[in-house]
Structure 1
Amino acid sequence: MTGAGDMAVQMMEQMIPSMKRMMPDAPEAFWVEFSKQVDGDELEDMVIPVYQKHLTQEDVDAQLVFLKSDAGQKMIQAQPLIMQESMMIGQQWGLQLIQRAQETLKASAE
């Protein structure tokens, strides 16, 4: 209902350019085939037991009531954009942390 599988596919598609840089010798045909194998339903099936481990059926039922509400529908619609923007912020934050670590290491070596 939340489109989590679709968001996972979107995240993977955003990661492919980085993966291509890590594997520069892989031909484009490899990446085309790789993309075809990305299946959000497969991930959903793998994650369902995690939800079952931590949530009761009553918890899930309550969430479904919310997700069917106007506010829940708005959240479902906004979630892909929230994830995309959050990933970009996370990448920037990671780069900042690496830069700080490098500066600290350089300063301690001087």
Structure 2
Amino acid sequence: MKRFSITLFLCGLLTSGFSQSISKTENIKNLLVLTGSGKLSVQVGESMIISFKKNYPNVPAEFWDNFLKEMNSDALINLIIPIYDKYYTESEIKQLTEFYQTSLGKKLISIMPLVLKESMQAGQTWGKDIGEKVYNNLKEKGFVKKE
């Protein structure tokens, strides 16, 4: 009888932990959908494709269209859920969800694609400038043969 009670207790603990995990997973998924994380990432991917198109103008549009079809926000969300699960408690996920339902949270969601796009452009410019400075400095110091 004692073994049976212990087994029931352990099963209860496992079931309780599993249901909390499902609940947290669903809360994370809801948060990611609410914030548009999947859609935002797809937009970033689309921006990357636009950059590739500029660099490879001879590639047919069909090639790029096929890549765009493969960008699935649900697949990305499923990859992101374990990351949020690792760094946030269920309580924090709920608090974030509440924040993103406020007017400031909604504003943050609506302008984030623009902020990220402009930030990426600024980062590209910054990276290009640093790359040029490093190359020029290497050339001046004789590490790269002058052309």
Q: Note whether the superposition's TM-score is higher than 0.5.
A: yes
Letter in 1 for 2:66: E
Letter in 2 for 1:62: Q
Letter in 1 for 2:103: D
Q: Residue 98 of structure 2: which of 56, 65, 72 is its match?
A: 65
Q: Residue 5 of structure 1: which of 38, 59, 76 is its match?
A: 38
C-alpha separation in 1, matches of 2:118 and 2:51:
17
| Consecutive unaligned residues in structure 2, runs of 5 or more | 1-33
C-alpha separation in 2, matches of 1:25 and 1:49:
39
Shift of 1:65: 1.2
Aligned Cα root-mean-square deviation (Å): 1.8
Q: Which residue number corresponds to residue 83 of structure 1?
A: 116
Q: Residue 77 of structure 2: which of 34, 38, 44 is its match?
A: 44
**1:5-42 deviation line (CA, Å, top 9, x unaligned):** 11111111111133346666643222111111111221
Letter in 1 for 2:41: A
Q: Which residue number corresponds to residue 107 of structure 1?
A: 140
Secondary structure, in 3 states, of the residue corresponding to 2:35?
A: coil
C-alpha separation in 2, matches of 1:22 and 1:13:
14
TM-score, structure 1 normalization: 0.89
Q: Which has the higher contact order (CA 8 A, sep 6+)?
A: 1
Q: Which residue number corresponds to residue 97 of structure 1?
A: 130
| Consecutive unaligned residues in structure 1, runs of 5 or more | none
Larger CA Rg, structure 1 vs 2: 2
Identity of aligned residues (%): 35
C-alpha separation in 2, matches of 1:19 and 1:108:
34
**1:29-73 deviation line (CA, Å, top 9, x unaligned):** 221111111112211110110000111001111111111111111
C-alpha separation in 1, matches of 2:93 and 2:101:
12
Q: Residue 51 of structure 2: which of 18, 30, 50 is its match?
A: 18
